[in-house]
Structure 1
Amino acid sequence: MLEENLKKNKLTLDTVNQMLRQKDIFDISEVEYGVLEINGMISVMKKKEYQNVTLKDMKKGMKGNQQFPIELIMDGQLLEKNLKVNDLPPDWVYDKLKDRNKNIEDVFYAVKGTDGQLYLDFYKDKIQHPIDVE
Protein backbone atom coordinates (compact mmCIF):
# COMPACT_ATOMS: atom_id res chain seq x y z
CA MET A 1 0.00 0.00 0.00
CA LEU A 2 1.10 3.51 -0.67
CA GLU A 3 0.49 4.98 2.77
CA GLU A 4 1.20 8.55 1.69
CA ASN A 5 -1.42 8.28 -1.04
CA LEU A 6 -3.94 7.01 1.49
CA LYS A 7 -3.25 10.09 3.64
CA LYS A 8 -3.50 12.43 0.63
CA ASN A 9 -6.90 10.97 -0.19
CA LYS A 10 -7.98 10.99 3.45
CA LEU A 11 -8.49 7.22 3.49
CA THR A 12 -8.00 4.98 6.49
CA LEU A 13 -7.32 1.26 6.53
CA ASP A 14 -10.87 0.73 7.75
CA THR A 15 -12.17 2.59 4.69
CA VAL A 16 -9.97 0.57 2.33
CA ASN A 17 -11.12 -2.68 3.96
CA GLN A 18 -14.75 -1.57 3.62
CA MET A 19 -14.19 -0.79 -0.06
CA LEU A 20 -12.62 -4.22 -0.56
CA ARG A 21 -15.50 -5.94 1.22
CA GLN A 22 -17.89 -4.17 -1.17
CA LYS A 23 -15.94 -5.99 -3.90
CA ASP A 24 -16.46 -9.29 -2.03
CA ILE A 25 -12.84 -9.30 -0.89
CA PHE A 26 -12.61 -10.04 2.82
CA ASP A 27 -8.93 -10.95 2.83
CA ILE A 28 -6.45 -8.38 1.56
CA SER A 29 -4.00 -11.12 0.64
CA GLU A 30 -6.29 -11.92 -2.32
CA VAL A 31 -5.41 -8.58 -3.94
CA GLU A 32 -2.72 -8.45 -6.60
CA TYR A 33 -3.24 -4.79 -7.45
CA GLY A 34 -5.66 -2.06 -6.43
CA VAL A 35 -6.33 1.38 -7.87
CA LEU A 36 -8.23 4.28 -6.36
CA GLU A 37 -10.23 5.72 -9.24
CA ILE A 38 -11.00 9.40 -9.81
CA ASN A 39 -14.63 8.81 -8.78
CA GLY A 40 -13.46 7.58 -5.35
CA MET A 41 -14.20 3.92 -6.06
CA ILE A 42 -11.58 1.19 -5.90
CA SER A 43 -10.74 -1.19 -8.74
CA VAL A 44 -9.08 -4.45 -7.80
CA MET A 45 -7.26 -7.15 -9.70
CA LYS A 46 -7.30 -10.36 -7.69
CA LYS A 47 -4.40 -12.79 -7.63
CA LYS A 48 -4.80 -15.57 -10.20
CA GLU A 49 -5.82 -18.18 -7.68
CA TYR A 50 -8.75 -15.98 -6.59
CA GLN A 51 -10.05 -14.94 -10.01
CA ASN A 52 -13.36 -16.17 -11.41
CA VAL A 53 -13.79 -19.16 -9.17
CA THR A 54 -17.03 -21.04 -8.71
CA LEU A 55 -18.29 -22.61 -5.51
CA LYS A 56 -17.47 -26.00 -7.03
CA ASP A 57 -13.87 -24.90 -7.69
CA MET A 58 -13.53 -23.57 -4.17
CA LYS A 59 -14.71 -26.83 -2.64
CA LYS A 60 -12.12 -28.80 -4.62
CA GLY A 61 -9.22 -26.74 -3.28
CA MET A 62 -10.58 -25.96 0.17
CA LYS A 63 -8.75 -27.51 3.08
CA GLY A 64 -10.59 -27.28 6.38
CA ASN A 65 -12.74 -24.40 7.51
CA GLN A 66 -11.96 -20.91 6.41
CA GLN A 67 -12.02 -18.18 9.00
CA PHE A 68 -12.74 -14.47 8.94
CA PRO A 69 -9.55 -12.38 8.58
CA ILE A 70 -8.19 -10.96 11.84
CA GLU A 71 -6.54 -7.54 11.85
CA LEU A 72 -3.47 -7.67 14.08
CA ILE A 73 -1.54 -4.45 13.39
CA MET A 74 -2.79 -1.12 12.12
CA ASP A 75 -0.53 1.87 11.61
CA GLY A 76 2.31 0.37 13.68
CA GLN A 77 0.07 -0.52 16.64
CA LEU A 78 -0.53 -4.08 17.83
CA LEU A 79 -4.26 -4.71 18.22
CA GLU A 80 -4.05 -6.65 21.47
CA LYS A 81 -7.83 -6.90 21.83
CA ASN A 82 -8.08 -8.75 18.50
CA LEU A 83 -5.34 -11.14 19.61
CA LYS A 84 -7.10 -11.85 22.89
CA VAL A 85 -10.56 -12.33 21.38
CA ASN A 86 -9.14 -14.80 18.86
CA ASP A 87 -6.91 -16.66 21.33
CA LEU A 88 -3.73 -15.66 19.48
CA PRO A 89 -0.61 -15.23 21.60
CA PRO A 90 1.29 -11.99 20.89
CA ASP A 91 4.41 -14.13 20.52
CA TRP A 92 2.96 -15.55 17.30
CA VAL A 93 3.06 -12.08 15.72
CA TYR A 94 6.44 -11.22 17.22
CA ASP A 95 7.96 -14.48 15.94
CA LYS A 96 6.65 -13.87 12.42
CA LEU A 97 8.12 -10.37 12.47
CA LYS A 98 11.41 -11.59 13.91
CA ASP A 99 11.68 -14.04 10.99
CA ARG A 100 11.60 -10.99 8.70
CA ASN A 101 13.88 -8.85 10.90
CA LYS A 102 11.04 -6.40 11.50
CA ASN A 103 9.37 -4.75 14.49
CA ILE A 104 5.74 -3.80 15.12
CA GLU A 105 6.61 -0.17 14.35
CA ASP A 106 7.75 -1.18 10.83
CA VAL A 107 4.31 -2.54 9.95
CA PHE A 108 1.60 -0.39 8.42
CA TYR A 109 -0.94 -3.23 8.33
CA ALA A 110 -0.99 -6.90 9.32
CA VAL A 111 -3.85 -9.37 9.10
CA LYS A 112 -4.18 -13.09 9.69
CA GLY A 113 -5.91 -14.19 6.51
CA THR A 114 -8.67 -16.68 5.94
CA ASP A 115 -6.01 -19.32 5.28
CA GLY A 116 -4.31 -18.67 8.66
CA GLN A 117 -1.29 -17.00 7.07
CA LEU A 118 0.00 -13.60 8.14
CA TYR A 119 -0.20 -10.84 5.53
CA LEU A 120 2.11 -7.87 6.19
CA ASP A 121 2.39 -4.45 4.60
CA PHE A 122 5.42 -2.46 5.74
CA TYR A 123 5.82 1.29 5.76
CA LYS A 124 8.99 0.97 3.71
CA ASP A 125 7.77 -1.29 0.93
CA LYS A 126 10.30 -0.05 -1.63
CA ILE A 127 7.64 1.37 -3.92
CA GLN A 128 9.19 4.49 -5.41
CA HIS A 129 6.09 6.06 -6.93
CA PRO A 130 2.71 5.11 -8.33
CA ILE A 131 2.75 3.67 -11.83
CA ASP A 132 0.44 6.29 -13.34
CA VAL A 133 2.50 9.40 -12.57
CA GLU A 134 1.06 12.27 -14.57
Structure 2
Amino acid sequence: MLIIVVRTLILYILVVIIMRIMGKRQIGQLQPFELVIAIMISELAAVPMQDKRIPLINGIIPILTLLFAQITFSFIGLKSTRARAIICGRPSILIQNGKINEAELRKEMYSVNDLLEQLRIKNIYNIADVEFALLETNGQLSVIPKSQKRPVSPEDLNIPTKYEGLSLDIIVDGEISHENLKLANLDVNWLNDTLSKFGINNPKDVLLASLDSEGKLYYQLKERRNN
Protein backbone atom coordinates (compact mmCIF):
# COMPACT_ATOMS: atom_id res chain seq x y z
CA MET A 1 0.00 0.00 0.00
CA LEU A 2 2.81 2.38 0.92
CA ILE A 3 4.51 1.70 -2.43
CA ILE A 4 1.34 2.63 -4.34
CA VAL A 5 1.01 5.86 -2.34
CA VAL A 6 4.62 6.84 -3.03
CA ARG A 7 4.34 5.99 -6.75
CA THR A 8 1.13 8.00 -7.00
CA LEU A 9 2.68 11.03 -5.30
CA ILE A 10 5.76 10.88 -7.55
CA LEU A 11 3.66 10.72 -10.72
CA TYR A 12 1.29 13.41 -9.44
CA ILE A 13 4.15 15.82 -8.73
CA LEU A 14 5.71 15.02 -12.12
CA VAL A 15 2.45 15.66 -14.01
CA VAL A 16 1.82 18.92 -12.12
CA ILE A 17 5.34 20.15 -12.96
CA ILE A 18 4.89 19.19 -16.62
CA MET A 19 1.52 20.94 -16.89
CA ARG A 20 3.08 24.07 -15.36
CA ILE A 21 5.89 23.90 -17.91
CA MET A 22 3.32 23.55 -20.71
CA GLY A 23 1.76 26.86 -19.63
CA LYS A 24 -1.25 28.27 -17.79
CA ARG A 25 -3.91 27.82 -20.42
CA GLN A 26 -7.30 26.46 -19.50
CA ILE A 27 -8.53 23.26 -21.15
CA GLY A 28 -10.78 25.23 -23.51
CA GLN A 29 -7.78 27.30 -24.66
CA LEU A 30 -5.53 24.36 -25.58
CA GLN A 31 -4.57 23.81 -29.18
CA PRO A 32 -5.55 20.36 -30.56
CA PHE A 33 -2.03 18.92 -30.25
CA GLU A 34 -1.72 20.29 -26.70
CA LEU A 35 -5.02 18.69 -25.71
CA VAL A 36 -3.91 15.34 -27.18
CA ILE A 37 -0.64 15.51 -25.23
CA ALA A 38 -2.46 16.40 -21.99
CA ILE A 39 -4.83 13.44 -22.38
CA MET A 40 -1.97 11.06 -23.20
CA ILE A 41 0.04 12.24 -20.20
CA SER A 42 -2.90 11.58 -17.87
CA GLU A 43 -3.35 8.08 -19.33
CA LEU A 44 0.36 7.27 -19.07
CA ALA A 45 0.44 8.45 -15.45
CA ALA A 46 -2.64 6.40 -14.50
CA VAL A 47 -1.23 3.02 -15.62
CA PRO A 48 1.79 2.86 -13.25
CA MET A 49 -0.41 4.16 -10.44
CA GLN A 50 -2.82 1.25 -10.78
CA ASP A 51 -0.34 -1.56 -11.51
CA LYS A 52 2.75 -1.65 -9.29
CA ARG A 53 4.18 -4.47 -11.42
CA ILE A 54 4.95 -1.87 -14.08
CA PRO A 55 8.28 -0.13 -13.36
CA LEU A 56 7.79 3.53 -12.53
CA ILE A 57 10.37 4.53 -15.12
CA ASN A 58 8.13 3.01 -17.83
CA GLY A 59 5.61 5.74 -17.07
CA ILE A 60 8.07 8.58 -16.52
CA ILE A 61 10.01 8.22 -19.77
CA PRO A 62 6.93 8.41 -22.10
CA ILE A 63 5.62 11.39 -20.12
CA LEU A 64 8.92 13.24 -20.48
CA THR A 65 8.98 12.31 -24.18
CA LEU A 66 5.56 13.91 -24.66
CA LEU A 67 6.73 17.01 -22.79
CA PHE A 68 9.70 17.26 -25.15
CA ALA A 69 7.36 16.86 -28.14
CA GLN A 70 5.04 19.58 -26.85
CA ILE A 71 7.89 22.03 -26.25
CA THR A 72 9.32 21.25 -29.69
CA PHE A 73 6.01 21.82 -31.47
CA SER A 74 5.41 25.03 -29.53
CA PHE A 75 8.89 26.32 -30.36
CA ILE A 76 8.44 25.50 -34.05
CA GLY A 77 5.07 27.27 -34.02
CA LEU A 78 6.65 30.38 -32.50
CA LYS A 79 9.36 30.48 -35.15
CA SER A 80 7.27 29.68 -38.24
CA THR A 81 3.73 30.86 -38.98
CA ARG A 82 3.47 28.27 -41.78
CA ALA A 83 4.41 25.46 -39.40
CA ARG A 84 1.95 26.79 -36.82
CA ALA A 85 -0.80 26.74 -39.41
CA ILE A 86 -0.01 23.08 -40.14
CA ILE A 87 0.19 22.09 -36.46
CA CYS A 88 -2.70 24.16 -35.08
CA GLY A 89 -4.72 25.03 -38.16
CA ARG A 90 -6.16 28.43 -39.08
CA PRO A 91 -9.21 30.31 -37.79
CA SER A 92 -12.37 29.76 -39.84
CA ILE A 93 -14.65 32.67 -40.71
CA LEU A 94 -18.19 31.41 -40.01
CA ILE A 95 -19.87 34.79 -40.49
CA GLN A 96 -18.37 37.29 -42.93
CA ASN A 97 -19.77 40.76 -43.58
CA GLY A 98 -22.97 39.76 -41.79
CA LYS A 99 -23.52 36.62 -43.89
CA ILE A 100 -23.20 33.00 -42.72
CA ASN A 101 -20.46 31.11 -44.55
CA GLU A 102 -22.13 27.76 -45.22
CA ALA A 103 -19.00 26.21 -46.79
CA GLU A 104 -16.98 26.86 -43.61
CA LEU A 105 -19.79 25.50 -41.45
CA ARG A 106 -19.72 22.24 -43.41
CA LYS A 107 -15.93 22.11 -43.35
CA GLU A 108 -15.82 22.49 -39.56
CA MET A 109 -18.87 20.22 -39.07
CA TYR A 110 -20.51 23.15 -37.30
CA SER A 111 -24.30 23.35 -37.43
CA VAL A 112 -26.32 26.56 -37.48
CA ASN A 113 -27.67 25.60 -34.06
CA ASP A 114 -24.09 25.32 -32.75
CA LEU A 115 -23.37 28.77 -34.12
CA LEU A 116 -26.47 30.29 -32.54
CA GLU A 117 -25.68 28.64 -29.22
CA GLN A 118 -22.17 30.08 -29.18
CA LEU A 119 -23.50 33.52 -30.07
CA ARG A 120 -25.92 33.35 -27.15
CA ILE A 121 -23.02 32.47 -24.86
CA LYS A 122 -21.39 35.68 -26.10
CA ASN A 123 -24.60 37.56 -25.14
CA ILE A 124 -25.62 38.07 -28.78
CA TYR A 125 -29.21 36.99 -29.35
CA ASN A 126 -29.73 38.35 -32.84
CA ILE A 127 -27.45 37.04 -35.57
CA ALA A 128 -28.25 40.15 -37.61
CA ASP A 129 -26.10 42.12 -35.14
CA VAL A 130 -22.94 40.19 -36.11
CA GLU A 131 -20.45 41.44 -38.70
CA PHE A 132 -17.82 38.70 -38.29
CA ALA A 133 -17.63 35.44 -36.33
CA LEU A 134 -14.42 33.41 -36.33
CA LEU A 135 -13.95 29.88 -35.06
CA GLU A 136 -10.50 29.98 -33.48
CA THR A 137 -8.02 27.11 -33.62
CA ASN A 138 -8.77 26.22 -29.98
CA GLY A 139 -12.50 25.84 -30.74
CA GLN A 140 -13.67 29.12 -29.23
CA LEU A 141 -15.82 31.56 -31.18
CA SER A 142 -14.69 35.18 -31.54
CA VAL A 143 -17.45 37.63 -32.45
CA ILE A 144 -17.21 41.14 -33.91
CA PRO A 145 -20.60 42.91 -33.73
CA LYS A 146 -21.68 45.45 -36.33
CA SER A 147 -20.40 48.92 -35.51
CA GLN A 148 -23.86 50.30 -34.73
CA LYS A 149 -24.52 47.42 -32.33
CA ARG A 150 -21.39 47.75 -30.23
CA PRO A 151 -21.55 49.28 -26.73
CA VAL A 152 -20.83 52.99 -26.56
CA SER A 153 -17.36 53.76 -25.22
CA PRO A 154 -16.07 56.99 -23.63
CA GLU A 155 -14.02 57.55 -26.79
CA ASP A 156 -17.21 57.57 -28.88
CA LEU A 157 -18.56 60.38 -26.67
CA ASN A 158 -15.22 62.22 -26.49
CA ILE A 159 -15.14 61.77 -22.72
CA PRO A 160 -11.62 61.84 -21.21
CA THR A 161 -10.85 59.00 -18.81
CA LYS A 162 -8.24 58.46 -16.13
CA TYR A 163 -5.60 55.76 -16.31
CA GLU A 164 -6.61 52.59 -14.48
CA GLY A 165 -3.81 50.23 -13.62
CA LEU A 166 -3.91 46.90 -11.82
CA SER A 167 -4.73 46.97 -8.13
CA LEU A 168 -2.15 45.52 -5.76
CA ASP A 169 -3.13 43.04 -3.05
CA ILE A 170 -1.43 44.41 0.05
CA ILE A 171 -2.93 42.02 2.62
CA VAL A 172 -4.43 38.62 1.86
CA ASP A 173 -5.93 36.63 4.74
CA GLY A 174 -3.93 38.56 7.31
CA GLU A 175 -0.59 38.18 5.51
CA ILE A 176 1.19 41.32 4.28
CA SER A 177 2.59 41.20 0.74
CA HIS A 178 5.93 42.98 1.12
CA GLU A 179 6.58 42.47 -2.59
CA ASN A 180 3.48 44.43 -3.59
CA LEU A 181 4.23 47.11 -1.02
CA LYS A 182 7.63 47.53 -2.64
CA LEU A 183 6.03 47.76 -6.09
CA ALA A 184 3.84 50.60 -4.79
CA ASN A 185 6.92 52.33 -3.28
CA LEU A 186 5.40 51.97 0.18
CA ASP A 187 6.42 50.25 3.38
CA VAL A 188 4.93 48.55 6.43
CA ASN A 189 4.98 51.79 8.43
CA TRP A 190 2.72 53.45 5.83
CA LEU A 191 0.41 50.46 5.93
CA ASN A 192 0.16 50.44 9.72
CA ASP A 193 -0.49 54.20 9.80
CA THR A 194 -3.19 53.90 7.13
CA LEU A 195 -4.89 50.97 8.87
CA SER A 196 -4.83 52.81 12.21
CA LYS A 197 -6.85 55.61 10.62
CA PHE A 198 -9.61 53.05 10.08
CA GLY A 199 -9.28 51.78 13.66
CA ILE A 200 -7.35 48.64 12.66
CA ASN A 201 -4.41 47.89 14.92
CA ASN A 202 -3.41 44.48 13.61
CA PRO A 203 -3.04 43.54 9.91
CA LYS A 204 -3.93 39.96 10.80
CA ASP A 205 -7.51 41.14 11.37
CA VAL A 206 -7.77 42.07 7.67
CA LEU A 207 -9.17 39.53 5.23
CA LEU A 208 -8.19 41.54 2.15
CA ALA A 209 -6.63 44.93 1.52
CA SER A 210 -5.85 46.17 -1.99
CA LEU A 211 -4.44 49.40 -3.37
CA ASP A 212 -5.76 50.85 -6.64
CA SER A 213 -3.79 52.90 -9.17
CA GLU A 214 -4.93 56.15 -7.49
CA GLY A 215 -3.56 55.11 -4.12
CA LYS A 216 -6.92 54.35 -2.51
CA LEU A 217 -6.94 51.45 -0.07
CA TYR A 218 -9.84 48.99 -0.04
CA TYR A 219 -10.09 46.65 2.92
CA GLN A 220 -12.39 44.08 4.47
CA LEU A 221 -11.99 42.73 7.98
CA LYS A 222 -12.25 39.09 8.90
CA GLU A 223 -15.45 37.90 10.47
CA ARG A 224 -15.17 37.61 14.24
CA ARG A 225 -15.70 34.07 15.42
CA ASN A 226 -17.18 33.35 18.81
CA ASN A 227 -15.26 30.62 20.64
TM-score bracket for this pair, using the shorter chain length: 0.3 to 0.5
> Structure 2 length normalisation: TM-score?
0.28
Highest RCO, 1 vs 2 (Cα 8 Å, sep ≥ 6): 1
Greater helix share, structure number: 2
> Structure 1 length normalisation: TM-score?
0.45
